[in-house]
Amino acid sequence: MSENCMTAGKKDISSIGSSFLLMTAAVLFIYLLTGMTAARMNAVKTAVLFATFVSFIAFYTVSRIKGIKTGLIGLVSGIPAGFIAYLALESGFNSVNRQTILCFGIMMRLLLWGCLACLVLSFALLIAAKRFKTEDAVFIVLSAGFVLRAVMVLFTPLNFWQHDVSGFGEGFEGFHDDYIMYIYENWALPDGDVRDLGQLYHPPLHYVLSAVFFKLNSVIFPGRSGVIDSLKTLPFIWSNGLVLFGLKILKHFRIKGTALVFMLGFICFHPQTVFLAIQVNNDALALMLFAASVYLALKWYDKPELTTILFTALAIGCAMMTKLSMGFAAFPVGFLFISRLVKALREKAEKGSVKAGELIKQFVLFGLLSVPLGMWFPVKNLIEHGTPFTYVFAIDSTGGQDVWMYSAWQRLFAPSGESLRTPFLTMSSSKPGTDYNMFLALMKTSVFDERSFDSGYLTAAGKILLVLAAVMALLGVISAVYVTARLIRQNKMTAGFISLLILCAVLLLCYVRFCFGYPVVCTQSFRYIAPVLPAAGVFIGMASEGFRKKSPVRIVLFSAVSAFVLAVFLFYGTYAEYGPVWEQLIRR
């Protein structure tokens, strides 16, 4: 292994760390200023947020055009922007400085559409100065995605997009928030058979980190002690990390130029990354680590360095210590390991170079690190209480969720007419089992999670978004088939691409099995197969690069992505103004 390869690998890992630290710093700044809720914001704090963003984008834009020294002048642009924002925001507060629906509307529109307008201006200036490159488009997309998630985190009540959360009330009910609060109050893992403790059967990494952060929040800011909104800080960080590793996976497959920008937009603006930023369960951290493990394994296959495989082991081990089902990463990662070993054995026979022995040593070290990290908690429960590794909390079949009475044909291919009339998932005792079809439920939950709205505008906008989500899913499947056939025909099939096919196939098969094994509506959620998002981006991106730049196929693909992203903003840029959302914030 050459020294240059090792140096390149270390630089790449360092760049991941730098990008992640920059995003984390931005999230922590928002947390320090707002406590992660609009309920604690006022005109001054909102103006500071807006001014800081304007200054950052101005610095970036001027630096790209005139250089870093001149770019520093751009930082002062945030001062007048913040002052103007402050004047506009003051009109939204009444005489006693209490927030109203009008106030929230002004704040949200300023932070979302104002920041997006700033990015559009940056784009226009870079184009005019003939300095615009693909890296600038990537920066703008990542920044816009960050803005969307930040606004959603700030202007959404903590209990609005959650799964299996009791609302941080008194008493122990075995939900995700109970898990966090138990560790926070006792500094110990719950004792007893996890089969009697609800969601506490999950491994503890996410809950320990959340409890530690909650404690730090109380110690550093005594006035915020017990303010549960601060717990959105960590999921916000993890969701940004997921997008970052999605970008890395796209680049690994040499998707570049226009295709890279559009596919990053598909991943970055997908509603799943928004939900994950708000939800305090273990999904965001688990999915970020899952994506990291896949990316690192792909990178290791190309350059099998010890550092990279150890980071891969750490990512998989911690992913499984967050959510045991993340062990599905073993399928694509294991395939890459075996493929690289076979390649090394062939190279030994052909070139006389000894590489297989070194790989086996790396595999041993990988196992010594990943297995204890990922398996200690389920092994502990097995030894102490006989809890099987495959144990899943039995889901309550009350509340109109039962779908066991429907045939396999109905659940796979024949949705009900009632379920087709609304874009939102139906889980009502008055309409039991309406959304029994798992693939329709999959599409609905991919863009709306398990929420529903009785607003006429949101229903209409939701139908458009749902149709476009289905179009994107169909394009992803068609692209996967097309690219697979093209690579086979050209004899250019790679182990990395096959590993993504394996990833998608395993997740989909396990999803179907899970839906039949636990026949209730909520098991049909897209969040159980969310790791397919970066893979879909790769499939569509690679398919587009098989055609000339102005090909009608590329135009159709990129137009579909553009329409999907626009529909996301039309829905989520206004959804919070649906009364019940902000009424919950005002009452607090």
- Looking at residue 192, the DSSP 8-state letter turns out to be S
- Percent of the chain at pLDDT > 90 equals 57
- Is 339 within 8 Å of 284 (Cβ atoms)? no
State the DSSP H helix or E strand holding residue 43, giving kind and residue range, or none if neither: helix 43-66
Q: What is the pTM of this model?
A: 0.92
126-153 confidence digits (pLDDT tens): 999 999 999 999 999 999 999 999 999 9
**Mean pLDDT, residues 487-503:** 96
Amino acid 501: pLDDT:
97
Amino acid 6: pLDDT:
44
- Is 108 within 8 Å of 155 (Cβ atoms)? yes
Name the pLDDT band for 285 (thresholds 50, 70, 90): very high
**Mean pLDDT, residues 341-346:** 88
Across 383-387, 480-484, 545-549, which has the greatest mean pLDDT? 480-484
**Mean pLDDT, residues 340-358:** 75
**Mean pLDDT, residues 454-479:** 92
495 vs 214: CA distance, rounded Å: 43
The secondary structure of 198-241 as a DSSP string is GGGGS-SHHHHHHHHHHHHHHHH-GGGTT-GGGGGHHHHHHHHH
- Is 100 within 8 Å of 92 (Cβ atoms)? yes
Amino acid 277: pLDDT:
93
537-585 confidence digits (pLDDT tens): 999 999 998 888 889 999 999 999 999 999 999 898 876 665 556 556 6
C-alpha triplet 199, 148, 580: angle, nearest 5°: 65
- Is 61 within 8 Å of 122 (Cβ atoms)? yes
409 pLDDT above the threshold of 80: yes
User: Residue 244 to residues 8, 138, 587: CA-CA distances in angstroms?
Assistant: 19, 11, 36
Amino acid 354: pLDDT:
47
3 pLDDT above the threshold of 60: no
- Is 105 within 8 Å of 95 (Cβ atoms)? no
118-127 confidence digits (pLDDT tens): 999 999 999 9
Amino acid 574: pLDDT:
77
| Residue 458 burial (CB count, 10 A) | 22
**Mean pLDDT, residues 22-45:** 90
Amino acid 576: pLDDT:
63
30 vs 263: CA distance, rounded Å: 27
> Largest alpha-carbon pair distance within the chain?
82
20 vs 307: CA distance, rounded Å: 19
2 pLDDT above the threshold of 60: no
Amino acid 506: pLDDT:
96
**Mean pLDDT, residues 180-185:** 90
Amino acid 399: pLDDT:
58
288 vs 286: CA distance, rounded Å: 6
183-212 confidence digits (pLDDT tens): 998 899 888 888 888 888 999 999 999 999
Q: Which residues contact 504 (CB under 8 A, 6 or more apart)?
A: 480, 532, 535
424 vs 451: CA distance, rounded Å: 7
**Mean pLDDT, residues 332-359:** 81
**Mean pLDDT, residues 62-72:** 80
Higher pLDDT, 399 or 276: 276
244-275 confidence digits (pLDDT tens): 999 999 999 999 999 999 999 999 999 999 98
CB neighbour class for 307 (10 Å; exposed up to 12, middle 13-18, buried from 19): middle
The tokens for 346 are 């062939």
Amino acid 533: pLDDT:
95
Amino acid 156: pLDDT:
85
Higher pLDDT, 75 or 294: 294
Whole-number mean pLDDT of the chain? 87
- Percent of the chain at pLDDT > 70 equals 88
Name the pLDDT band for 458 (thresholds 50, 70, 90): confident
